[in-house]
Amino acid sequence: MEESLNIGVLISGRGSNLQAIIDGIEQGKVAAKISLVVSNNPDAYGLERARKHGIPAVVVDHRMYSTRQEFETVVIERLNEKGVELVVLAGFMRVLTEHFLKAFPLRVINIHPALLPSFPGVGVQAKAVDYGVRFSGCTVHFVNEGVDTGPIIAQAVVPVYPTDTGEILADRILKMEHQIYPKVIHWIAERRVRVEGRRVFVEGAKMDEEIAHIEPVA
């Protein structure tokens, strides 16, 4: 495998995406090394996951800082100490400002549980069900100053069924999150991802011939 990319993963909670990335690395499918996990929440279960796999994990509790900038400065320092090249947001519930993004230009990615630009923000799986869309999914994107507005790297689509609740749909989407996030990190590690304005190109990506999906099937 080629030289591995040094990544830092920022979490706030459960950390199931962190786990998917750890598993991908351990299985040799992702050419990356998690140099540090940072949680703003001391009770995040993801911290345990990191420790179980011998990955350094620290808490930077945002409540200890009076401004966003002070909080971010500490996170930047921790990441830089470990030589982090790519910052991976995995259920990280703080909005990052320009101050942070300038420290890692086009080097911060996020996963969002909807098909952006539809349903940015939080609680979006239930919003998709309530809206009545027939498809939803997840989006991996570069982070910019907006909320869930950065250039899109990859998306996965799932159907929304009449019997769905927000939780049922969230589970269906989460399975796809766990598939696409490790893949994207691997593409970035392989230096195959290029950004031109809002458009992101993945070198060597195949074009799927099967282009039409209809829902409901009736």
Q: Residue 119 or residue 216: which is nearer to ligand GRF going by CB?
A: 119
Q: How far is the CB of 209 from ligand GRF (least distance, A)?
A: 29
* Per-residue three-class SS string for the chain: CCCCEEEEEEECCCCHHHHHHHHHHHCCCCCEEEEEEEECCCCCHHHHHHHHCCCCEEECCHHHCCCHHHHHHHHHHHHHHCCCCEEEECCCCCCCCHHHHHHCCCCEEEEECCCCCCCCCCCHHHHHHHHCCCEEEEEEEECCCCCCCCCEEEEEEEECCCCCCHHHHHHHHHHHHHHHHHHHHHHHHCCCEEEECCEEEECCCCCCCCCCCCCCCC
Interface with ligand GRF includes 112 (CB under 6 A)?
Answer: yes
Q: For the CB of residue 98, give the shortest distance to ligand GRF in the complex, in Å.
A: 21
Is 16 a binder of ligand GRF (CB under 6 A)? yes
Distance CA 101, CA 129 (A): 33
Among 12-20, 60-68, 73-81, 157-165, the segment contacting ligand GRF (CB under 6 A)? 12-20
By CB under 6 A, is residue 13 in contact with ligand GRF? yes
Determine, following the binding rule CB under 6 A, whether residue 148 of this chain makes contact with ligand GRF: no
| C-alpha span between 145 and 33 (Å, rounded) | 27
Compute the distance between CA of residue 87 and CA of residue 133 in angstroms, rounded to an integer.
32
Among the options 62, 99, 112, 141, which is catalytic? 112
Two structure tokens written together for 101? 């993004």
Nearer to ligand GRF, 15 or 182 (CB): 15
- The question of whether 112 is a catalytic residue gets the answer yes
Among 7, 9, 17, 86, binds ligand GRF (CB under 6 A): 17
150 near ligand GRF, rule: CB under 6 A: no
Residue 137 is a binding residue for ligand GRF (CB under 6 A): no
Taking the complex as a whole, how short is the minimal distance between the CB of residue 210 and ligand GRF, in angstroms?
A: 26
Q: Taking the complex as a whole, how short is the minimal distance between the CB of residue 148 and ligand GRF, in angstroms?
A: 9
Site string for ligand GRF, 170-209 (x = CB under 6 A): ----x--x--------------------------------
* Positions marked active-site: 112
Residues at the interface with ligand GRF (CB under 6 A):
13-17, 90-91, 111-113, 174, 177
